[in-house]
């Protein structure tokens, strides 16, 4: 491990960045996909995230004081996605057809019911305010804990806990309302 005052070699930085890339590529892509709703834009967003991360990697390592860099990567993706939305419409398209088919469907009726419920949930997530939608994506799609989400969103742990709780309650209300409309 290099002394904090001794600059790391480019080869060492590149190797450490490669490890970061391999460790978090799936999480960044998953976040991007849930955020933008299609594979093409998610791939672009993921690429842009890692390009920006590479430019600031050495500084991020110094400033992280040994903490994991996943929240930092997700924050970069979050900011890039926000920029993308400024240039486009506010609502991402999230076609249900892109979802992975069930490996072992039981009956057609059960499959239709599950697909309808998934559709209500995805549509409900789209209706949430940006901060609530993002917190739920980070929590349930990426499996990030509250502390990581707080760092990624630039909030306190307590505010993040409240944000996730309110997002879940609001989503439950949206989904239940959609179910009663059927």
| pLDDT single digits (tens) 19-57 | 999 999 999 999 998 888 888 889 999 999 999 999 999
Please report the sign of the dihedral spanned by the C-alpha atoms of residue 73, residue 26, residue 121, residue 96: positive
Q: Which residues contact 19 (CB under 8 A, 6 or more apart)?
A: none
| 110 contact partners, CB below 8 Å, separation of at least 6 | none
- Over residues 148-164, the mean pLDDT reads 92
Closest Cα partner for 22 from 81, 69, 75?
69
At 96, the pLDDT band (50, 70, 90 cuts) reads very low
Burial class (CB in 10 A: 0-12, 13-18, 19+), 182: exposed
Confidence bin at 79 (pLDDT 50/70/90): confident
Q: 0.85 cut: is pTM over it? A: no
What is the mean predicted confidence (pLDDT) over 135-145?
86
CB 151 within 8 A of CB 96: no
Q: Where, residue-wise, is CATH 1.10.1740 in the chain? A: 9-93
Higher pLDDT, 14 or 87: 14
- The predicted pLDDT at position 88 comes to 62
Nearest to 151 by CA among 90, 76, 98, 61: 76
Q: In the structure, what pLDDT confidence band is assigned to residue 171 with cuts at 50, 70 and 90?
A: confident
Q: At what angle do helices 108-127 and 157-181 cross, to 10 degrees?
A: 130
**Greater pLDDT, 92 or 119:** 119
CATH for 104-182 (1.10.10.10, 1.10.8.640, 3.20.20.70, 3.40.50.300): 1.10.10.10
CA gap 132, 130 in Å, rounded: 6
Per-residue pLDDT at 156: 94
CATH number of 9-93: 1.10.1740
Q: Give residue 112's pLDDT.
A: 64
Q: 3-state class of 1 per DSSP?
A: coil
Domain with CATH 1.10.10.10 in the chain: 104-182
């Amino acid at each position: 491990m290099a002394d904090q005052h001794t600059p790391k070699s480019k080869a060492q930085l590149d190797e450490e960045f490669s490890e970061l890339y391999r460790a978090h590529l799936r999480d960044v892509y998953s976040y991007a996909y849930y955020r933008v709703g299609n594979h093409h834009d998610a791939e672009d967003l993921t690429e842009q995230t890692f390009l920006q991360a590479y430019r600031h990697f050495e500084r991020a390592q110094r400033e992280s004081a040994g903490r994991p860099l996943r929240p930092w990567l997700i924050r970069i993706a979050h900011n890039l996605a926000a920029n993308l939305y400024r240039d486009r419409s506010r609502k991402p398209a999230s076609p249900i057809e892109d979802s992975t088919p069930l490996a072992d469907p039981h009956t057609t009726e059960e499959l239709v019911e599950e697909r309808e419920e998934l559709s209500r949930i995805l549509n409900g997530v789209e209706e949430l305010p940006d901060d609530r939608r993002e917190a739920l994506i980070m929590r349930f799609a990426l499996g990030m804990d509250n502390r990581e989400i707080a760092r990624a969103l630039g909030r306190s742990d307590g505010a993040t806990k409240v944000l996730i709780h309110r997002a879940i309650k609001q989503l439950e209300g949206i989904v239940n309302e959609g179910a009663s409309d059927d």
